[in-house]
Structure 1
Amino acid sequence: MKDGLVRDKGGESEKITINLGYVDLGRIDVLVQEGFYSNRTDFIRTAIRNQLTAEAEAVKQSIVRHTLELGLREYSRVELESLQAAGERLHIKVVGLARIASDVTPELALATIESITVLGALQASTELKSALAERIR
């Protein structure tokens, strides 16, 4: 796991189908014909692995954001505004107490919180809980 990615175990794979334009397919065939890749599948697998390596940090951050947190977790207005500025959405998963700061507006919460799963208690204003009702599991 040198590059931080989990590699596919031999024999454990999922078949996918993709549509490519004729020009892109032709360019792949040129690379195969010139010996850069053994076949089209080799090219596509390599391209996917390269892209996953390039996006490894984003994948890692997404996994971290989706992990259960244990104990007290408070979500501040500043934190949610940072997520909003980055165009990111949050999946809150807490075992314990999740608290959304009192200065978080329903609009900010709706723009940044995709879902809330709390095994324990959620502390937030009545207005906020009402706005997020469909996202609370």
Structure 2
Amino acid sequence: MELFLANKSENAIPAKAPESEKLTINLGFVDLGQIELLVQEGFYSNRSDFIRTAIRNQIERHADTVRQIVLRKSVDLGLRHITREELMTAQAAGQMLDIRVLGLAVLAPDVTADLARATISALSVLGTLQASAEVKAALADRIT
């Protein structure tokens, strides 16, 4: 059985960062039935509420591990907005950027494919990457 969670994001670059990402999961009938029972009994307002709560509990359970990994790997946590100015500065300094994000990475709409290719050596996003189709294509071999 498939279960859909709330979706407030789109593929296009939004004027404002999205608040959530849509996920699809498959659940066994017994698990789904137990969730339905807890919702019916008022423990959760709906299926999505139950699943978000379960996910938050697991993230909280592993919070120290996540913090250690973020520090060790020099990962930006949360929203990372990559601007044309930042890339132009790196280009002027002859630097290539290795960008690592856990959350949402947004390349500004005015970043061209050529500029991105000339300044970004690697782009690793654990979460969501928002960029124009041209920029994504230009960085395809550098995105992990």
1:85 CA drift (Å): 0.1
The RMSD of aligned alpha carbons is 1.4
1:78-97 alignment, distance < 5 Å: 78-97=85-104
- CA–CA separation in structure 1 for the residues paired with 2:130 and 2:98: 16
Which residue of structure 2 aligns with residue 71 of structure 1?
78
Matched, 1:113 2:120: yes
Q: For residue 4 of structure 1, what is the aligned residue in structure 2?
A: none
In structure 1, what is the equivalent of residue 131 of structure 2? 124
1:60-84 residue CA offsets vs partner (Å, 9 max, x unmatched): xxxx9x7101000000001100000
Number of residue-to-residue matches in the alignment: 73
Amino acid at match of 1:95: L
Q: Distance in 1 between matches of 2:139 and 2:106?
A: 13
Deviations 1:92-115, CA, capped at 9 Å, x for gaps: 100000000010011100110000
What is the rounded CA distance, in whole Å, between the counterparts of 1:79 and 1:69 in structure 2?
A: 15
Quote the Cα distance in structure 2 between the aligned partners of 1:116 and 1:72. Answer: 14
Q: Which residue of structure 2 aligns with residue 53 of structure 1?
A: none
> Which stretches in structure 2 are left out of the alignment for 5+ residues?
1-70
What is the rounded CA distance, in whole Å, between the counterparts of 1:106 and 1:127 in structure 2? 6
How much has 1:132 moved relative to structure 2? Answer: 0.5
Segments of 4+ in structure 1 off by > 4 A? Answer: none
Once residues 74 and 91 of structure 2 are traced to their aligned partners in structure 1, the CA distance between those partners, rounded to angstroms, is 20
Q: Show the counterpart of 2:141.
A: 134
Identity, in percent, stands at 55
- Please tell me whether Structure 1 or Structure 2 has the larger radius of gyration of its CA atoms: 1
Q: Does the residue aligned with 1:83 lie in a helix, a strand or coil?
A: helix
Give runs of aligned pairs for residues 23-38 of structure 1, distance below 5 A: none
Q: 3-state DSSP class of the match of 1:88?
A: coil
